[in-house]
Chain A
Amino acid sequence: MSQTTSNAGQGLGQATTLASGFQFPSIHNFPPFYTLQPTASTWKNQSDLWGTIIMRYYRHHRLYQLDLDDSTTNDQLFNNQRINRALKPETIQAIVEEMVKKGDAEWDATSRKRRAIIYWRKPEDWAAMISSWVFETGLNNSILTYYEIAHGENSEDQEFYNIHPTVLHKTMDVLVKRGVAATFQGDNFEDMGVKFFNAGA
């Protein structure tokens, strides 16, 4: 995904920049961007563009979960007041569906496609990041709780700080499969423990 914006969008107006510092591409001001395009090839391009913007927005704001019933979180993302256009929930759902197909998102199994985890970083990437952090900090061969990884003092400056529990769980699954770590059942999700081995390090 190149960062150079093509000149095709000239005339759509200056790209909107949010207070958080996030800058939307100018296609965000293109009225048809908010209508589900019935033509398959056009829709593919449109949903790809939306997927990219959603992931960038989520990464910028360190968001993990997209909830169709929660309109406040993504208000600025899906609602463009400048051109008076907004994505309909079913269009968002369709976009997420496309992202799920590509592996960029995953539906919460219990939510009937109302909530989804956006993988702006893949579990494999998180796994590599967490395991290198563990080895760097010398925490291998000792048991860590999920809470310590996500909210502990040692991980405050890490990108995975406040990581979504589901994402963390997926990441650990990847590590277990690789044989790098073993998990221990706890009373609740945050009490679950993990132990990293030396092997392969």
Chain B
Amino acid sequence: MDRWDPIELTSTFRPVLEPQEAIQTTQDQVGLYDGRAKAEDYPNGTVYLTNYRILYIDAKNPTRKSIGLPLRLINGIQHYGGFMSSSPKITLDLYPRSANSDPQSSTDFISSHGGGAGLDPSAMAALTIKTEPSWVCTICYNSNQGGLAKCTVCGVKKPQGSLETPTTPAADPFHFVESIPSTTANDTPETTNEQPGIACPACTFHNDPFMIHCEICGTQLQDQDSIAFMLHRQQQHQRSISQLPSTLSQSSTSLSTTPTASDTTAGKLSAPGKFMAGMSNLYGGSKPTPEDANSVKLSFRAGGNGSFQTLLKTAMGNKAWENKPKPRPVETAKNQSSSTTIENAPSSPSIQVGGISGIMRTVESNKKVADETLSEAFRDLQGLMDKAAEMVALAETISNRLSKSSNVNNEETATFKTYLLSMGIATPVTKDTAGAVFHKELARELVEFILPIVEREGGTMSLMDIYCVFNRARGVELISPKDLHTACELFEALNLPLRMRKFDSGLLIIQTLARYSDDKVSTAIATRIQSLPPGAGLTAVELASAIQISVALAQEQLLMTESRGLICRDESVEGLRFFDNLFTHWEI
């Protein structure tokens, strides 16, 4: 539990996010376990998963008992599906706390230098993937990334005696992720890589095993069956490349079903399972072991564990925290390395490359370049989104600067501020990120955003106006009027400082708790009308322009004042005007 840090909350009890931090998902009714024992101080709360942290906000005492755990401290994830009255749980194994260096600096060190002096073995294991040397395929001479078990171009297995340094198996979750293609490849018969090549029956040239016709004389090299087999293999190979992400998710679900502590069939488990079972066995004793300090359990009493786990894995895989200072240095580095691989490929020891296999490789590499361009384009879109967040920050800065400087005339400042204020919400709550607690989260976000605006508007705004302003600020993540209405209905239950209210005419408004009261408004209107020249009335339009509110709201306020008997109406062809209620005290 000591790994968790207290976190900052907004006035509506949502977490204050760091720049670039975005909420991935939200789940309520989650309890925390410290090692194996329930953490008594954190029995029930809402858990937010961001790309940097896991945040726990207590349902009862949000101001005191809200804590966060950086994702970078998490070493592995275990999943327990729940049984009978026991809720589904996700166990987070944390890296052991290193005695000398604090985790923040150590991970920063990893990401920036790629070296691991003085680090614990598991962190080292995590590093090995990045530091593994690349190897050259014996068949197509493609230079492959160290972690790959087979060639990315032709799918041939990595030769045994390669330079690659063996990694500690199962010490690092990302290792499984990386090694999954090898297991799928193992399922298919691997016979060709033992053969040196196919000798042409006509000219005896040793052709590449992939060849169907001789590269020299064009004689058919193999019978129909083996051709069919070759085609089948090629298809499979392509599929396994294209399905890489889905295989990953499959593998994660298979991980999630691996038995944990209670299971004794650890011997049958695959490598990750073995590791986890080993960890669980360590927990076997009721006495807290040192490992207890390195694990935290989240108990999902209202479900939602499955999607939470998937998103947690994604977030951990993305390692967004490594990109904090400079956006995406690792990825760009990767891009460079992969692009250089392609450029280098023809000049690398592949002098013998030629003929059809060469053409095939060119096609392949062209395809790769196209893929990369595509993903680059989408990354730019992502970059645009990131920039949007920066734009909001910039807008705020300008707004602050404007309020200090007195050079600009007031009207311009006011207009400009209006624009800035409606610029945007950096990380809007969506159904994807908030899930079951969507409307609650939406209500909180809405209050955070709209409160200053409502106060500026004099304490009341019609729901229609709020819908427009709010959706404009959300940009692309628009919400439906129904969602807004539902969220507003929750204001009272969530104890937020705004209330929705329905006028007799059906007009819905949002008003602040503190500043708005019918008494105050009606008295103010009555006083305003009494101060008018005798015999002159006030229309809703005049009131609206005088106190800067919408006409519909002005009308409602006038009607409300009228219903309190403070003013009376005059209906004529000129419209509805309101006058001081002279009838009350008139005596004849």
Contacts and interface: CB of A to CB of B under 8 A. Distances in A.
A171 interface: no
B572 A8 contact: no
Given A5-B587, A38-B569, A45-B586, 9 more contacts: A10-B534, A11-B534, A27-B582, A31-B537, A32-B568, A35-B571, A39-B565, A45-B584, A49-B583
A81 interface: no
A46 interface: yes
A147 interface: no
A31 B588 contact: no
B582 A31 contact: no
Most-contacted residue by chain B among A1, A2, A30, A85 (CB, 10 A): A30
Main secondary structure of the interface of B (DSSP, over half): loop
B583 A45 contact: yes
Contacts of B583: 27, 32-33, 37, 42, 45-46, 49
Contacts of B569: 32, 35, 37-38
Which of A4, A34, A46, A53 has the largest number of chain B CB atoms within 10 A?
A46
Given A39-B562, A39-B565, A31 B577 contact: yes
A2 B535 CA distance: 24
Given A10-B534, A37-B583, A39-B562, A46 B588 contact: no
Interface string B528-544: 00000111010000000
Contact of A9 (B565, B570, B571, B586): B586
A31 B567 CA distance: 13
Contacts of A13: 535
Interface in A1-59: 1-6, 8-13, 25, 27, 29-35, 37-39, 41-42, 45-46, 49, 52-53
Contacts of B152: none
B42 interface: no
Contact of A41 (B565, B571, B572): B565
B131 interface: no
Contacts of A10: 534
B563 interface: yes
B268 interface: no
Contacts of B571: 35
B585 A6 contact: yes
Contacts of A2: 587-588
Contact of A27 (B562, B563, B570, B588): B588
Contacts of A49: 583, 586, 588
B579 interface: yes
A15 B572 CA distance: 22
A92 to B, nearest CB: 15
A32 B536 CA distance: 11
Nearest to A35: B571
B247 interface: no
Contacts of A41: 565, 584
A13 B537 CA distance: 15
Contacts of B563: 38-39
Given A13-B535, A37-B583, A41-B565, A25 B570 contact: no
B535 A12 contact: yes
Interface in A78-124: 84-85
B572 A9 contact: no
Contacts of A3: 588
Of the candidates B568, B572, B577, B588, the one having the most CB atoms from chain A within 10 angstroms of its own CB is: B588
Given A38-B569, A42-B568, A46-B568, A32 B585 contact: no
25 contacts: A3-B588, A6-B585, A6-B586, A9-B586, A12-B534, A13-B535, A25-B588, A27-B583, A30-B579, A31-B572, A31-B579, A32-B537, A32-B568, A32-B579, A37-B569, A38-B569, A39-B562, A39-B563, A39-B568, A42-B568, A42-B581, A42-B584, A49-B586, A49-B588, A85-B570
Classify chain B: how many residues form its interface, as a range. Answer: 20 to 34
Interface residues of A, number: 33
Contact of B570 (A11, A35, A52): A35
B587 A6 contact: yes
Contacts of A11: 533-535
A42 B572 contact: no
A31 B581 contact: no
Given A13-B535, A32-B579, A38 B565 contact: no
A175 to B, nearest CB: 33
A32 B534 CA distance: 13
A83 B579 CA distance: 14
B427 to A, nearest CB: 48
B565 A42 contact: yes
A4 B588 CA distance: 6
A183 B585 CA distance: 46
Interface in B532-564: 533-535, 537, 562-564
B505 to A, nearest CB: 12
Contacts of B535: 11-13, 29-31
A49 B568 CA distance: 14
Contacts of A9: 582, 586
Contacts of A32: 537, 568-570, 577, 579, 582-583
A33 B533 CA distance: 18
A8 B585 contact: yes
A46 B564 CA distance: 15
Contacts of B534: 10-12
A161 B561 CA distance: 49
**A-B pairs, 4 with minimum CB distance:** A11-B534, A45-B583, A31-B570, A32-B570
A25 B586 CA distance: 10
A13 B583 CA distance: 16
Contacts of B577: 31-32
A5 B542 CA distance: 32
Nearest to A1: B588
Contacts of A31: 535, 537, 570, 572, 577, 579
A4 B587 contact: yes
A87 to B, nearest CB: 12
Contacts of B586: 6, 8-9, 25, 27, 45, 49
Nearest to B587: A6
Interface string B458-479: 0000000000000000000000
Contacts of A34: 570
A29 B582 CA distance: 12
Nearest to A25: B588
B556 to A, nearest CB: 14
B177 to A, nearest CB: 71
